Copies of this chain bind each other. A is one copy, B any other.
Amino acid sequence: MGVRKARAAETQTALKEAARRLFVERGYLNTKITDITAAADRATGSFYEHFASKQDLLEALLTDMRGDASEAMAEHPREHDLTDRTQLRAHLDVAWHTIRVNLPVVVALHESDMTDSDRSDKVWLRLVEETEVLRHHLEYLREQGHDLPGDPTLVAAAMGGMLSTLAYALLRSGNPAYPDDQVVDTLTALLRNGLSGAGKAQP
């Protein structure tokens, strides 16, 4: 790779990193392209050499994220018993930390879908898509003869909505009101035993 190309790559990286930082700090919609270039110490015009628009930049970040995620998730078997406290907690823990690490993208997508005009069901579709793995686990449980609280897609969406809203609300402030562990513990207890059985010892 030549010096010229290296410099270009450097700029692209700088833009991405500036964007990630700003998306968390002030949100996707509030972040203007000029904010990004300024934060990356580049001129406004340079932005368009690398991305066609802010949406396009987000797409790129999303691609980066998927790259990481597909390694981590590699071959995730659906034969997991979410009624088992340990397994449920492990899942929630991974989910929570995945969101935390990818917070810029999560935030941006959240806000971006929201302003997508011609698809008022975009948010629902995204929610269903994001909770696909969860749904598979639930369907597996159902096949095992376990009675679910309801339709797997709906239950998965409900759980996912709880998780993402909480993360969005909690993680964006510099020092969250609750540490990660406590959140994951609480969600585990709530989702496993509900409100009625939370106090009981785990088998």
Contact = CB atoms under 8 A, between A and B. Distances in A.
A120 B194 CA distance: 30
A162 interface: yes
Interface stretch (A1-9, A44-52, A60-68, A164-172): A164-172
A59 interface: no
Q: Give the contact-size bracket for chain A.
A: 35 or more
Contacts of A82: 195
B83 A151 contact: no
A5 to B, nearest CB: 37
Contacts of A70: none
13 contacts: A26-B117, A27-B117, A30-B117, A121-B172, A124-B169, A149-B189, A151-B182, A151-B186, A158-B186, A190-B194, A191-B195, A194-B198, A197-B197
Interface of A: 25-27, 29-30, 82-83, 88, 110-111, 114-115, 117, 120-121, 123-124, 127, 141, 146-151, 153-155, 157-159, 161-162, 164-166, 168-170, 172-173, 177-178, 182-183, 185-199
Contacts of A185: 150
A123 B158 contact: no
A104 to B, nearest CB: 13
